[in-house]
Structure 1
Amino acid sequence: MRIVVLGLGYLGATHAACMAELGHEVLGVEVEQSKREMLAAGEVPFYEPGLPELLSKHIQSGRMSVTGSYQDAADFGDVFFIAVGTPQKKGEYGADLRYVDAALEELVPLLTRDALILGKSTVPVGTSRRLSERADELAKDIDVEIAWNPEFLREGYAVRDTLTPDRLVLGVFPSGNAESVAREIYATALGNGTPLVVTDPPSAELVKTSANAFLATKISFINAMAEVCDAAGADVKAVADAIGYDARIGRKFLNAGLGFGGGCLPKDIRAFMARAGELGAAEALTFLREVDNVNMRRRTRMVELTREICGGSLLGARIAVLGAAFKPESDDVRDSPALNVAGQIQLQGASVTVYDPKAIENSRQLFPTLDYATTALEACEQADAVLVLTEWDEFIKLDPMHVRNVVRRNRIIDGRMCLRGEEWVAAGWDYRT
């Protein structure tokens, strides 16, 4: 099929390249010139394993191309995916839908034949209906159908999650042919047994936001238990392992530590709360405020623990921070717990040196006053304490004796509970989690 993807950020670029991999002809629309030029040359402006090879392959083959013109998109496409960002509004909890609205406003008046617009962006419930009504107003003697097909990508696994998803969700209005078109688009995945959940648009919109809310709740639950374990002298990992054997609970997302960040969970649970309030159902999601509070407290606790391990004051201390991305296998530093902690520690008078395998340049843009190293050992030179704040495999494999040779004091805080603590203790480290 001839597919257009509107917006070539993290979601859009991944989706476009994967649609080409599935055999479709794809045109990606990106209004930001520098990003558009990189993508048109087959280069990815962010880190995502497997995507550079896939993008380059299909740019070179001609199956995927990039433009900044909505007119080109309207002339080319049969199906249009909206994959633009929906950031949190400044000073508010709600989602900023200006980019979603702009994509629709720009595209629909240019269409000259019937079209299907599928939403991939994460939006508040009710957005599909509003956009459908607006599309009817803008369309010129043609039928423009709106349906919602939410994404469930995990950074670091986005290509796999797009090509072999664990489920596909499609929200359709009663009249229209969105389901049959979606079945053709995703024929490969459906043929491999991926379930397709077809529902109404409000339900499809809620599937995405409720999934993120549940995952955020599970993470904050185990971190709340970690606070209780600290007070009781218990081992939160043992608690998580034991309750994880319960099939009703499961072990995934029960790793206590610094908490969640990134461009999805924090802003999505806040937008969910805001939308529930608009619908008159604010009380139903009051628990998410505590989920958010627990998550933010983990960052404060890490700063407190660093101050404790340094003798009660951070003034003049040298701190090595290993990790800047919000999770491994990503260069995304949006709402990064690691960088937030590094910034707080610096404000308390410490000299902070950060190292991350992929996220250094993005970190410099957000926190230019921090110091940055090119290797983990360089970051640890003459450090009074080492903080592991992103669980990159490179950090898990560090040799405690090698690190000991470069630091000033053998103190380490495992903010992700990812290290083999007994090895660090055996090597003479003051090891904390």
Structure 2
Amino acid sequence: MRISVFGCGYLGAVHAACMAKLGHEVVGIDVVEHQVASLSRGEAPFYEPGLPELLREALDTGRLTFTSSAAAAADAEVHFVCVGTPQKKGENGADLTYVHAAIADLAPHLKPGDVVVGKSTVPVGTAELLLETIRATQPEATLIWNPEFLREGHAVKDTLHPDRFVYGTTPDEAGASAAARLDEVYAQALGEGTPKIETDLATAQLVKVAANSFLATKISFINAMAELCEKTGADVTSLADAIGLDDRIGRKFLNAGLGFGGGCLPKDIRAFMARAGELGADQALTFLREVDAINMRRRVRMVDLAREVCGGSIVGRQIAVLGAAFKPESDDVRDSPALSVSAQMQLQGAQVRVTDPRAIENARKKWPDLTFVETVEEAVADAEVVLLLTEWREYLDLEPQVIAKLVEVPRIVDGRNCLQPEQWRAAGWTYRALGRQ
């Protein structure tokens, strides 16, 4: 298949490289020239395990190219729209500027029979408007909605071997033809038995935001339990283990701690609430306001816990922060809980040093007033308390006896409930964590 991919950010770059890996002829199109140049050299402009190797392999075959010219889509048959839908400034709703711009750029180059595949996360109702734009220019082209379900740090695997496909189509011959064409694109994964659900456009647009809202709710639920555990002397990790054994609930996403961040969950649940309000169904999603509020309270509580550990004040205290990315195996610092906590502590008078294996450069751009260091040893030197805020494997593998020799006072606050308390306490550390005594 000849494929174009509009938008070569996180989603688009991964998707383009993976489609070329599957044997398709792919052109990635993006308006950001330096991003196009970087990708054309086989250099990923963000950290994602396995992507640089995949990019170079695909470029070497000649099946993958990148350009800033929308006209390059004229030779393609299937066109993926993978642009971002960030939160509007000062509002909860999604900014659809890039989606509409991508369709406007693509439309003049569409041919009869071409299929446009929407992958961006959009408010329900957006696809129908985009389809009108497409058919106003090329009546014999059509649109199918195929939401993405990538996890940062696992995006290559999630694209090549997804856990499901969702097709949102129009109820006509064009919709059936588009689905058949997309089956050809995904033939390998479908041949492996990947489940596929075909539905209408509205449902397909709801799937991603509904899934993210459910995950966010599950995370905030266990963090609400952590608040109660701290008041009652209970242990939230044991609580999660116990209720997670119920197969109706499950243990995944029941890890109490600092909460979620990143470029998806926070903005998606807010955009979902905003769209529900526009549709007159805001009462259906009022619970998401509390989900969001619980998540933000975790950041404040982490600062409070650091203050408690330091005897009631963090003013002038030397604090080491391990982690800047919003999650491990990523350099993404969008809405990072770790950086939010670091900035709050610095504003309250603490001396904060932050380190991260991958995200320092991005973090420095977003929070230039914070102090960043390259290594754990630099961060913890003479520290009066250490905060683990992103659960990178190298932090989980730290030897408490070794780190104890570098700090001023051996006190650690585990913001992700990912360490072994007994191991750290046996090495002489004061260990604290959210939702645990």
TM-score higher than 0.5 here? yes
Alpha-carbon deviations, 1:132-167, whole Å to 9, x = none?
11212233xx51201100000000000000011110
Distance, in Å, in 2 between the alignment partners of 1:14 and 1:135 is 25
Alpha-carbon deviations, 1:1-54, whole Å to 9, x = none?
000000000000000001011110000001101111000011101000011100
Query: Does 369-378 or 385-394 show the bigger shift?
Result: 369-378
Alignment of 1:181-192 (within 5 A): 181-192=181-192
Distance, in Å, in 1 between the alignment partners of 2:111 and 2:46 is 35
Alpha-carbon deviations, 1:342-371, whole Å to 9, x = none?
000000011110010000000000111111
Residue 265 of structure 1 aligns with which residue? 265
Distance, in Å, in 2 between the alignment partners of 1:6 and 1:152 is 18
Q: 1:105, 1:138 within 8 Å by CA — same for their partners in 2?
A: no
Distance, in Å, in 1 between the alignment partners of 2:67 and 2:36 is 7
Alpha-carbon deviations, 1:354-393, whole Å to 9, x = none?
0100000000001111111111111000111100000000
Amino acid aligned to 1:346: Q
Alignment of 1:273-422 (within 5 A): 273-422=273-422
Amino acid aligned to 1:298: R
1:145 and 2:142 matched: yes
Amino acid aligned to 1:170: Y
Residue 155 of structure 2 aligns with which residue? 158
Residue 128 of structure 1 aligns with which residue? 127
Deviation at 1:397, TM superposition (A): 0.5
Amino acid aligned to 2:182: A
Alignment of 1:116-265 (within 5 A): 116-139=115-138, 142-175=139-172, 176=174, 177-265=177-265
Amino acid aligned to 2:121: T
Helix, strand or coil for the counterpart of 1:369?
Answer: coil
Helix, strand or coil for the counterpart of 2:13?
Answer: helix
Helix, strand or coil for the counterpart of 1:327?
Answer: coil
Distance, in Å, in 2 between the alignment partners of 1:233 and 1:56 is 53
Residue 35 of structure 2 aligns with which residue? 35
Q: 2:222, 2:240 within 8 Å by CA — same for their partners in 1?
A: yes
Distance, in Å, in 2 between the alignment partners of 1:220 and 1:353 is 28
Distance, in Å, in 1 between the alignment partners of 2:30 and 2:322 is 34
% identical equivalent positions: 62
Q: 1:27, 1:66 within 8 Å by CA — same for their partners in 2?
A: yes
Distance, in Å, in 2 between the alignment partners of 1:198 and 1:114 is 20
Deviation at 1:112, TM superposition (A): 4.1
Distance, in Å, in 2 between the alignment partners of 1:5 and 1:174 is 25
Helix, strand or coil for the counterpart of 2:108?
Answer: helix
Deviation at 1:273, TM superposition (A): 0.3
Distance, in Å, in 1 between the alignment partners of 2:30 and 2:97 is 15
Residue 89 of structure 2 aligns with which residue? 90
Distance, in Å, in 1 between the alignment partners of 2:349 and 2:160 is 48
Distance, in Å, in 2 between the alignment partners of 1:119 and 1:81 is 6
Helix, strand or coil for the counterpart of 1:179?
Answer: helix
Q: 2:42, 2:56 within 8 Å by CA — same for their partners in 1?
A: yes
Residue 104 of structure 1 aligns with which residue? 103
Distance, in Å, in 1 between the alignment partners of 2:135 and 2:162 is 32
Helix, strand or coil for the counterpart of 2:144?
Answer: strand
Q: 1:22, 1:188 within 8 Å by CA — same for their partners in 2?
A: yes
Q: 2:257, 2:416 within 8 Å by CA — same for their partners in 1?
A: yes
Amino acid aligned to 1:173: T
Deviation at 1:110, TM superposition (A): 2.9
Helix, strand or coil for the counterpart of 1:334?
Answer: coil
Distance, in Å, in 2 between the alignment partners of 1:385 and 1:76 is 59
Helix, strand or coil for the counterpart of 1:386?
Answer: strand
1:8 and 2:8 matched: yes
Residue 77 of structure 1 aligns with which residue? 76
Helix, strand or coil for the counterpart of 1:146?
Answer: strand
Amino acid aligned to 2:152: E
Q: 1:128, 1:201 within 8 Å by CA — same for their partners in 2?
A: yes
Alpha-carbon deviations, 1:291-349, whole Å to 9, x = none?
00000000000011111111211111111000000000000000000000000000001
Q: Which runs of 5+ in 1 are unaligned?
A: none
TM-score normalized by the length of structure 2? 0.97
Distance, in Å, in 1 between the alignment partners of 2:45 and 2:404 is 36
Amino acid aligned to 1:395: Y
Q: 2:111, 2:141 within 8 Å by CA — same for their partners in 1?
A: no
Helix, strand or coil for the counterpart of 1:189?
Answer: helix
Distance, in Å, in 2 between the alignment partners of 1:72 and 1:182 is 20
Amino acid aligned to 1:154: R
Alpha-carbon deviations, 1:207-260, whole Å to 9, x = none?
111000000000000000000111110010011001001000000000000000
Distance, in Å, in 1 between the alignment partners of 2:350 and 2:123 is 41
Helix, strand or coil for the counterpart of 1:87?
Answer: coil
Distance, in Å, in 1 between the alignment partners of 2:179 and 2:134 is 19
Consecutive aligned runs of 4 or more in structure 1 exceeding 4 Å deviation: none
Distance, in Å, in 1 between the alignment partners of 2:137 and 2:271 is 27
Q: 2:111, 2:140 within 8 Å by CA — same for their partners in 1?
A: no
- Report the RMSD for the aligned CA atoms in angstroms: 0.8
TM-score normalized by the length of structure 1? 0.98
Helix, strand or coil for the counterpart of 2:142?
Answer: strand
Amino acid aligned to 1:308: E
